[in-house]
Chains A and B, each alone.
Chain A
Amino acid sequence: MRLLTLLSLSLLGFGSSTLAATKRAPEERFRHYHSKALSSAPIKLLDASYRELTSAPRDYSVAVLLTAMDSRYGCQLCREFQPEWELLARSWTGGDKKGESRTVFGTLDFGDGREIFMSLGLQTAPVLYLFPATIGPHAVASPEPIRYDFTSGSQAAELVHSWLARHLPDRPHPPVKRPINWMRWISSLVLLSGGLTASYAAWPYVLPVIQNRTVWAAVTLVCILLFTSGHMYNQIRNVPYVAGDGKGGISYFASGFQSQYGLETQIVATMYGILALCGINLAIKVPRMTDPKTQSVALFAWSGVLLVVYSLLLSIFRGKNQGYPYSLPPFM
């Protein structure tokens, strides 16, 4: 019997069955959509099925994600959130086969439900609505849907889950079950064993490099230069690499003491590096030169570079910190 209804419904198509569907009792609607959800959660909704599912007297709750997956709309957040949403819907529905939580998960794409988006006055996607039950034991006072806030970027399924659980009290909340990523396990195992084999084979060649003091010194210095030029700030704050100056050009240095661009830190790190190199050469290389002439030239060159770069650094710093009084020639 049930199979038959399903078949006939799918034959009719949702667009034409609007009239028939709205007349169905809430109980029946829930059973229908829940059984659909069991096979593929979240349900892919169309205009008509969206209206039917969210129509007013309902003894169940509906969580609908209104999204725009088509690449034309360039919705990065939609694409990021989609797998999390599917995971949430699947594990919730899978953990609640009998429908005790009386919750249906649906997705409405902008391509399928343009009118719905228009009628809701939505300008942005994704939007997650929770339509609480209006009748039955879980009924709430206001039939208005509750909107989930995406202001802080893409969300993990667990966070959305806790939000749902908060708004759906007194009923089971099947937890989010992340599937084991077999591919990742296998590939990392293969990579690990491959790496081990390779390092075993290359050991005689690698060992001198590992034991080479110059290599370690270089690595250490590069790390120190990275950290002291604000690389961690870039990592944490996700600063832009460069920014326009509003006149069509590029501004290399962010204005203000507390901000910086990615390129800016690289320039600064390079300058620190050059200065340090000058220092190292003056302290170590130059006094080891045996030829007086070469030594004089090298000494003069390194001192000159040191002065110029340090002066440049000071002038850049003056640009960042207005009112800094000190400078060196030539960049006064």
Chain B
Amino acid sequence: MSADPLQVLASAGKGKNTRGLLRVIILALIVAAATASRLFSVIRFESIIHEFDPWFNFRATKYLVANGFYNFWDWFDDRTWHPLGRVTGGTLYPGLMVTSGVIYHALRALTIPVDIRNVCVLLAPGFSGLTAIAAYLLTNEMTPSPSAGLLAALFMGIAPGYISRSVAGSYDNEAIAIFLLVFTFYLWIKALKQGSMLWGALCALFYGYMVASWGGYAFITCLLPLHSFVLVCMGRYSTRLYVSYTTWYALGTLASMQIPFVGFLPVKTSEHMPALGIFGFLQLLAFLDYVRSAIPSRQFQTFLWIFAGAAFGLGLLGLVVATSAGFVAPWSGRFYSLFDTGYAKIHIPIIASVSEHQPTAWPAFFFDLNMLIWLFPVGVYLCFQQLADEHVFIVVYALFGSYFAGVMVRLMLTLTPVVCVAAAIAVSALLDTYLSTKSPDPEENQAVEGAEGKKGAKSGLKATNKPMVGVYATWGKGVVVSALAVYLLLFVLHCTWVTSNAYSSPSVVLASRLPDGSQHIIDDYREAYQWLRQNTREDAKIMSWWDYGYQIGGMADRPTLVDNNTWNNTHIATVGKAMSSSEEVSYPIMRQHEVDYVLVVFGGLLGYSGDDINKFLWMVRIAEGIWPDEVSERAFFTPRGEYRVDGEATETMKNSLMYKMSYYNYNNLFPAGQAVDRMRGARLPDVGPTLSTLEEAFTSENWIIRIYKVKDLDNLGRDHSSAAAFERGNKKKKVTKKRGPRVLRLD
């Protein structure tokens, strides 16, 4: 009776064409879902570029669109890193800007009038759809199950681990890089499976695109050789491997060297050496393979051992000599700190200071991947069943991806694709088993077992020695399938919740809830940057901590001293020193760097945690790294080792420029004696700090941004503190009279 509708349902997807059509429709829906779930911020706020780095990318894209490709390539930017400037064209990954530039011009050619800002804002959601398709293709190479690919595409589309870097407005390199990563891996597997030069060349092409887009390309550069090496160690050397690897390496390296920022690094630095080494190793193996076909086998054994040993030893010796002679640069700091995890903290505070470079606590994994995190090991285990070449790839990728993600929060991004693929394999294995309407016949199978049970299984997992039987009880199928459906639904809810709550804030515009539940928008950043744009000279130099450099460049269009491209540690330390020293020390520094305005972020009134006082210790630390005699972190802590901002703060703290700028005039907001810093919960002293070399120029609505103008030298030749004292009406002290005019201090 009930078989009829069931039959109809089952036969609906039987035909090949129908299935293909269904598949296309489902994929299209997944792409739509992936794109749509990233639009929270556009709907809630507006079409705006987010955070910090995207502002630079946006500015660079505008430059590219306005001035053309060749000018962009040779771009020297004199409006950042004043007075040094930055060879921007040679120190960025141009892939992102060129991609959106091409899209922009293509749409224009199709007479679709589109604004470059909207192209930039929507680039990441658009590419996430492509990433879902790439995940579909990659998973289909792994398993014969038809549902795995679609599941992988769905997981990839909505996993928060990837959404975190690809919401609308998050116009960063990762926006396109993850698509390129997954697609390059797909092409690599395809090339390896078929031993095809064409696929290898395509792989190299997309590898080149990846190199042009993101510094994380080193992950591919190391993973593919590692995969090949593991295959060789497993005795799986084949001409397929030889053809695909050598094609990829030769063409890919050439492609990567076309990027000015990369240049000769692929033959000079240690992180690229594994790829080169495996390239040589494969040549050796190919030669041995040829020799084996020519020499009788016993002689060959001896020959092989001696030859391989000698070659390996020579190669290693060559690398050691080249490294010590300086031809091959040792591991770069950022890369090295992935392995020696204590390294950055001691030697490169600027790397350690970035919150993305912190290690990952377990809640972050669960937050970003939810149930995929425990399906992931299941999928990897299932890969061990067949363990063909492509499954080895998943295993190797899973191991390294999870290690890197554990060391650095940011690298969750490279782990997410493999988690999605493995989890999809696991879920599809479950669904394929429990959704089948056929139930096995118990007696038949017991007979089969009796016959086959004694046959020893060959290789493979112990668990899969027995043949697959199937599930007898229909209720059992129902239980598992419905449980899975609930978990999957929960996963979708989780992803939406995380995306909506955690990853969709532009961080340029802050949202808060009023007591009555309505949304209140805090727009201090843009207010302040707009003020700068309208009230200052075109070439007024703004000094701020490096976090805000890109935003000032992008939104206020004013030159900055330092920005998020932290290429010059000393320059950053100079700013740190100016911020953490007293006015007498800071003023000459600011004069020497022609600073006109100083910008600080202050969260005390609103309780905003990402402000400069909270980041202050990093400024001190970085400055101390360069001037250990003049700046000392210890002096900012009370004798009891506390970091305080209230009346008991240390003298160094109270005299530092940062402290003064943050709390200047702040106590006027409150009744006498009741000034409170709401962020740090500290009661401030009755008398606020005084400033003599700076004057307050602008303070935003919620006091988040405060801008100060650097005073010119005094007209009467007085030093600033006595001039300020005079204006306050203090009597001149005798002592100050004896001092000569203060001269500009030179270091």
Contacts and interface: CB of A to CB of B under 8 A. Distances in A.
Given A282-B430, A287-B469, A228 B406 contact: yes
Given A287-B469, A287-B471, A290-B469, A213 B480 contact: no
A227 interface: yes
Contacts of B628: 163, 166
B411 to A, nearest CB: 11
Contacts of B315: none
A224 B396 CA distance: 11
B476 A295 contact: yes
A217 B380 CA distance: 8
B402 A224 contact: yes
Interface in B16-48: none
A287 B433 contact: yes
A149 B634 contact: yes
Interface string A229-243: 111110111000000
B384 A216 contact: yes
A235 B480 contact: no
Nearest to A233: B359
Contact of A229 (B362, B380, B473): B362
A235 B375 CA distance: 25
Nearest to B433: A287
A258 B470 CA distance: 44
A325 to B, nearest CB: 7
B466 A288 contact: yes
Interface stretch (A8-16, A52-60, A74-82, A272-280): A272-280
Interface in B309-323: none
A25 to B, nearest CB: 32
Interface stretch (A87-95, A98-106, A296-304): A296-304
Given A233-B361, A279-B375, A220 B380 contact: yes
Contacts of A303: 479-480, 483
Nearest to B395: A220
A216 to B, nearest CB: 7
A176 B493 CA distance: 61
B714 interface: no
Interface in A309-332: 310, 313, 317, 320-321, 324-326, 328
Interface string A262-289: 0011001001110110011011111111
Contacts of A295: 471-473, 476
Contacts of B377: 221, 224-225, 272-273, 276, 279
B469 A232 contact: no
Nearest to B450: A290
Contacts of B374: 271-272, 275-276, 279, 310
Contacts of A283: 378, 382, 426, 429-430, 433
A317 B366 contact: yes
A223 interface: yes
Interface string B515-528: 00000000000000
A170 interface: no
Given A213-B384, A279-B378, A227 B405 contact: yes
Interface string B359-396: 11111111100010111111011101101000000010
B363 A260 contact: yes
A271 B365 CA distance: 14
Interface stretch (B98-106, B109-117, B455-463, B602-610): B455-463
> Which of B360, B361, B375, B446 counts the most chain A CB atoms within 10 A?
B361
B469 A217 contact: no
B490 A328 contact: yes
B156 to A, nearest CB: 18
B696 interface: no
A165 to B, nearest CB: 12
A151 interface: yes
Interface in A120-150: 149
A71 interface: no
Nearest to A231: B406
Nearest to B448: A290
B684 interface: no
Contacts of A265: 362
B143 interface: no
A293 to B, nearest CB: 9
Nearest to A307: B483
Given A220-B380, A223-B402, A233-B406, A228 B373 contact: yes
B153 interface: no
A291 B473 CA distance: 11
A166 B381 contact: no
Given A227-B402, A233-B359, A149 B632 contact: yes
A213 B362 contact: no
Task: Give the size category of B's interface with A.
Answer: 35 or more
Contacts of B717: none
Interface in B489-515: 490, 493-494, 497
A259 interface: yes
Contacts of A268: 362
B66 interface: no
Interface in B102-148: none
B142 to A, nearest CB: 15
A306 interface: yes
B665 interface: no
A285 B381 CA distance: 13
> Which of A258, A260, A284 counts the most chain B CB atoms within 10 A?
A284
Contacts of B463: 214, 280, 284-285, 288
B465 to A, nearest CB: 9
B707 interface: no
Contact of B633 (A151, A259, A284): A151
A200 B112 CA distance: 72
B464 interface: yes
Nearest to A264: B362
A248 interface: no
Contact of B406 (A230, A300, A307): A230
Interface string B394-423: 010011001101110000000000000000
A221 B476 CA distance: 28
A220 B398 contact: yes
> Which of B387, B434, B462, B472 counts the most chain A CB atoms within 10 A?
B472
B721 interface: no
A249 interface: no
Contacts of A290: 442, 445-446, 448-449, 469
Contacts of B380: 217, 220-221, 224
B472 A296 contact: yes
B341 interface: yes
Nearest to B464: A284
A307 B484 CA distance: 10
B500 to A, nearest CB: 11
A321 B367 contact: yes
Nearest to B501: A323
Contact of A221 (B381, B446, B467): B381
> Which of A229, A283, A310 counts the most chain B CB atoms within 10 A?
A283
B483 A228 contact: no
Contacts of B362: 228-230, 233, 260, 264-265, 268
29 contacts: A151-B633, A213-B384, A214-B462, A216-B384, A217-B461, A227-B403, A228-B402, A230-B364, A233-B359, A236-B341, A236-B359, A257-B367, A258-B363, A272-B373, A272-B374, A272-B377, A276-B381, A279-B377, A279-B378, A284-B429, A287-B470, A288-B464, A290-B469, A292-B442, A295-B471, A299-B471, A299-B480, A326-B494, A328-B490
Given A258-B361, A292-B442, 12 more contacts: A213-B461, A217-B384, A220-B399, A228-B365, A232-B359, A233-B406, A236-B407, A276-B375, A280-B378, A295-B473, A317-B367, A326-B494
Interface of A: 149, 151, 163, 166, 213-214, 216-217, 220-221, 223-225, 227-233, 235-237, 257-260, 264-265, 268, 271-273, 275-276, 279-280, 282-292, 295-296, 299-300, 303, 306-307, 310, 313, 317, 320-321, 324-326, 328
4 smallest beta-carbon distances between A and B, as pairs: A232-B406, A230-B362, A279-B378, A275-B374
